[in-house]
Structure 1
Amino acid sequence: MSSPPPFDPEIVAALQARTDVVTTLRADEIARLRAGITRPTDAEITLGGVFDFSEHSVPSVDGRTLPMVMLRPRNAETPVPVLYHVHGGGLVVGTPYEDLPSLAALARDVGCAVASIDYRLAPEHPYPVPLEDVYSGLTWLVAEATSLGIDPRRVILSGVSAGGGLAAAAALLGRDRGGPVVRGQLLACPMLDDRNDTPSAHQMAGIGAWDRTANETGWTAYLGAERGDVPAYASPGRVTDLSGLPPMFLDVGSAETFRDEVVAYAARVWECGGEAELHVWPGGAHGFDTLAPDAALSRAARAARAGWLRRRLGAPAPAPRSG
């Protein structure tokens, strides 16, 4: 196996300086990682009052109640677009609150609301529970759009890391179940393929953020160690027919485990006649824009996402599905 690609200098500095970078992860370390999560303050979440913050209860397919958190521009007088976000955490950790400050900044820049579902985590809740939770949140959000003050014709399905993989799978479910029509998919460094055997996965073993060992821990918690025939929606990277999906934005670092599976996913979308905008950020580690938010590479990545969102939200609304 060849040497790994170099990290951007500002990303190197962040990896060396921060103590919260997860490189490898074993199953017995999941509880400690969960215990270390802290909730942002209300001021951080709302950007000091730019947004109204609310919490909602969403029914799941198995009769449970799922929390959903939402930010809506405080002074909006008409229905606004919404970014329906799925948080990351390798399928085993994370909350809907962690990403809200950065999502709020993005939503402020493009003029939309944010909703984030508190899906249940593996290994306590393996596939298909987390995915069905995400899909339940999407269908509920669209059904309740009027009361929530959002525009059901301008919903963007979004996710980061494991949340990006769940968002991609939810889009596949929506296509095949005739579910809600979303305007697009915003998939940041998505976790897409349980096979965990690409050149980039081997190149980045033991270095950077979220390496092959951590990735196997997450997928094993979600699907089991002896996977056999993996269900179609459990691992989007295995799906061959990616036609008929909402336009998507995908980005990934050149120096991270997920690089090759994300590039392959975009290529397959194009092969199937779909629309995908792909960015491979040179020298980016997994989650680099969170690790080093002030780095030039991180600012460029955020600007690219915001530009794509503005274009998608300004595009004509998709036609509703018949039947």
Structure 2
Amino acid sequence: MLGSDGHESNYDWDFIQHYVKEDKRDRSVTQDQHYWGAEIASNPPTVSYNEVMNSDQGVADLTAKIQKYGFSFISSTPSHDPDLTRQVLERIAFIRLTHYGGFYDFIPDLAMADTAYTNLALPAHTDNTYFTDPSGLQAFHLLSHTPPPGVSAETVQGGASLLVDGFNAAKVLKKEDPKAYEILTQVRLPWHASGNAGITITPDRLYPVLEVVDGELGRVRWNNDDRGVVPFGEGYTPEEWYGAARKWDEMLRRRESEYWVQLTPGRVLVFDNWRVMHGRSAFEGIRRICGAYINRDDWISRWRNTNFDRKKVLDSVIG
């Protein structure tokens, strides 16, 4: 083959057939996804801190569970020093830097104009809807929960965490109300972060709640606090979108969709922010939470390279 610059390249016939006629990339580098609801509480995916810190097999187990279930706990993580939480998360990949900083360690003091920095109840949502590329993973570690003055430390003070499998909810929605599912995949919305002075972040374009690629749901983008005005001219009226959104919201709030868990010091929660929505109940007192965001591409790379051999990985991404 003679290029326009006069350079001659030679290719085997098998190579040409490989790319011209069909895609023969190795599709065995995959992970079956297990959709779940409230029943996951009986046996949530978990790996230990020592496993993750001491071997790549531990990282392989952790990332495989996140791929399969959309989340995993890291048990027995030391809680006296948040830097140890940072270290275990960096076993997956480097921490993403955002306008919130990198590794975060905060209390509900409204240091940032975001509902996460309050003690209010939060419904199921995804983070970073205002980014073109929302963070792939998010992690929380409850370091402490100090009760209000005069309240015993043994008294439950709220702040239970909520997880909802967005892919499972979308599957049920598509079955029960195909029209609502269609609307949420078609109507593209404005998203933004503009509560803090000097920060106005919005994606490169409008994105729907349910992002479908090649017929498969690839990402859920849902946070009413970050959503702009529902636009006209997207094939459906705003009234139709709101009707579909109400159906979606009702589905997320069903008892069988919700997994409630009380986080405790030593138990790190890591979840797929493209799939699993999170929330919490209101709480009293002061909770200290640390954690981080991790990029999607980087944690998927780590999953591939700890769960499959190098040749299989290259065959899957190059061909």
TM-score (norm 1): 0.24
Which structure has the higher relative contact order (CA within 8 Å, separation 6+)? 2
More helix by proportion, 1 or 2?
A: 1
Larger radius of gyration: 2
TM-score norm. by structure 2 comes to 0.24
